[in-house]
Amino acid sequence: QVQVVQSGAEVKKPGASVKVSCKASGYIFTNFGISWVRQAPGQGLEWMGWISPYNGNTNYAQKFQGRVTMTTDTSTSTAYMELRSLRSDDTAVYYCARDSSSLGPKWFDPWGQGTLVTVSS
Amino acid sequence: EIVLTQSPGTLSLSPGERATLSCRASQSVSSSYLAWYQQKPGQAPRLLIYDASSRAIGIPDRFSGSGSGTDFTLTISRLEPEDFAVYYCQQYGSSPLTFGGGTKVEI
**pLDDT tens, A36-68?**
999 999 999 999 999 999 999 999 999 999 999
The proportion of chain A whose per-residue pLDDT surpasses 70, expressed as a percent, equals: 100
Distance from CA of A71 to the nearest CA of B (A): 19
Asked if B3 is an interface residue toward chain A (Cβ–Cβ < 8 A), one would say no
Asked if B90 is an interface residue toward chain A (Cβ–Cβ < 8 A), one would say yes
Q: Are B104 and B7 in contact (CB under 8 A)?
A: no
N- to C-terminal Cα separation, chain A:
40
Distances, alpha carbon B92 to alpha carbons A25, A56, A89, B75, in Å:
25, 20, 25, 20
Angle B1-B5-B10 (CA atoms, 0-180°, nearest 5)?
150
Alpha carbon A71 to chain centroid, angstroms: 9
For residue A120, how many other CB atoms are within 10 A of its CB?
A: 10
Chain B neighbors of A110, CB-CB under 8 A: 44, 46-47
Q: Give the confidence band of A101 by pLDDT, cuts at 50, 70, 90.
A: confident
Q: Give the confidence band of A102 by pLDDT, cuts at 50, 70, 90.
A: confident
Buried b (16+ CB within 10 A) or exposed e, A29-40: beebbbbbbbbe
| Closest partner CB to B35 (pick from A50, A63, A107) | A107
Query: Does pLDDT of B39 surpass 90?
Result: yes
Q: Are B37 and B43 in contact (CB under 8 A)?
A: no
